[in-house]
Amino acid sequence: MRISSGDGLRPWGIAAILIGIFSSTYVFSSMNVALPQLAAELGADPGQLKLIMGGYATALAVFVIPAGRLGDRYGRRRLVIIGYAATLLVAILAGLAPGPWTLIGLRILLGATVALYLPQLLSIIQVSTNGVARVRLVSAYAGAGGLGTAAGQVLGGALLQANLFGTSWRPLLWVLGLLGAIALFGAITLPSSRSPQAAANDHPGTIALGLLIACFLVPVSLGPTAGWPIWMIIALIAVLPLGAMFWRLERRLERRGGVPLVPPSVLAEPAVARGLVIALLFFGAFSAFMYEYALISQGQWHASPMRSGLSLVPFALAFVVGSLVVGRVRIWLGSNPNVMIVGTIAQIVALLALIVLIGGSAAEPSPWLLQPLLVLLGLAQAWQYGPLVATVMDGVPLAVAGLTGGLFATAQQAALGLGVAVYGALLTGLQTAGLTPAQAMAGCLAVNVVSALVVLGIVRSLRRVAPA
């Protein structure tokens, strides 16, 4: 597929954009396949494993909108360059972490550095392309994200299997640093852009949102294995008042003429609000599936890291292929919501079949039965993700382009982190109740089906409010 913008995006600049989204998913999926090694070599318990995964995603969620504002104000290319350079440094340090809490801290910092460049990518696409060029580049952007997921699984499994010089999981993070170094060269060629109406950062809102997510993520991650000490219960209770305080801060700032972290007026746009709810449900289920599969395949099924990673390659490649053809599918079906409806129905069918296949036996399913279902699931999710990105982009005014990448990335990354915590707690609870790991995963997949049915209802309503 040929991609050209005609508006200042050169081939190396396009490469830098695609490497950026590739890296952001690679760093998540590569650590996912390394969870058993992190538990064995660093002594990380299940709660710490959830924080290793969730800490990165939630830090990215908290900082991505402030970073989008910085790009609007000081220049998006500048933030991309700074973000890639900072990610290079932090990835090297994270690969040297001596223990689980050090790794958790550096993964949180890594989320903050990725946040510097990630929202700028969609914003650069929005202000530098239009028409067919934008559709093609957004499709490639979605495909690169899926390819990063596949590469994280395969390359992560290969590096773990090779155990180069006894370094085990550490090169997985150093590869991220290498990607940052390569992307720096392309980032220099990106067109310079900023918003003439760039908003100041909402510091009280950022702090409130960070506290809100932390008060939910930490107790849900650590509580099931830590016996729910009183401070965790208090933190969970504090979520509701913190949420109310966050919303009051946002409404007050907007009434005073400022632009809050999450503007209530932007969320009043039906396509944006419903699209973000879909993103929360979609990515929460996605991250949970990846987390559960790594633990079950390497645990109950006794697969090696390499084989565990390779077994998800068809799923990830189907996502990539589905993303690349979604533009044609949209033409056939007439609108983004119609594509999402077909994708959601296909996802429900695949999940129901997986529940029967995985939950029906303690043995590893036959690849002849498992792989077609994973391919269907990958295609289905591609036909949800790309149109969802387009729906959110179309619902945000050009004057606040940073919010296009920012709002979507916040919902996406918050869901990735919280999905691991919530579904991980459910997985632990079901096993504690006496289910086998595979049966517990089937139970989590059943919750995914319920989530997908909710998504289906919301998508159907989008046909009345989203642009065709």
Tell me the domains of the chain and their CATH numbers. Answer: 11-192+200-462 (1.20.1250.20)
Distance linking the first and last C-alpha atoms of the chain: 23
| Structure-token match 């994270």, residue found | 94
Distance CA 213, CA 307 (A): 34
> pLDDT of 231-255, one tens digit each?
889 999 999 999 999 999 999 998 9
Left, alpha or beta for 3 (phi > 0: left; psi -120 to 50: alpha)?
beta
% of the chain at pLDDT higher than 90: 32
Give Cα separations from 270 to 193, 199, 253, 465 (angstroms). Answer: 28, 23, 21, 6
Cβ 222 vs Cβ 232: under 8 Å: yes
Tens-digit pLDDT profile for residues 5-22? 445 678 888 999 999 989
What pLDDT shows up at residue 197?
67
DSSP state of 201: P
Average confidence score pLDDT of the chain: 85
pLDDT level of residue 403 (50, 70, 90 thresholds): low
Q: What is the pLDDT of residues 156-200, one digit of tens each?
A: 888 888 888 888 999 999 999 999 999 998 999 888 887 766 667
CA dihedral for 311, 312, 315, 320, sign (positive or negative): negative
Q: Cα-atom radius of gyration of the chain, to the nearest Å?
A: 21
* DSSP label at residue 335: S
Give the residue carrying structure tokens 């993520």: 217
Q: What is the pLDDT of residue 198?
A: 65
Inter-residue contact 113 to 80 (CB < 8 Å):
no
Residue 421 makes CB contacts below 8 A (sequence gap 6+) with 50, 54, 216, 217, 220, 221
295 neighbors 44 (Cβ within 8 angstroms): no
Phi, psi of 361 (to 5 degrees): -155, 150
pTM of the shown model: 0.80
Q: What is the mean pLDDT of residues 88-101?
A: 94
Is-contact 306 158, C-beta < 8 A? yes
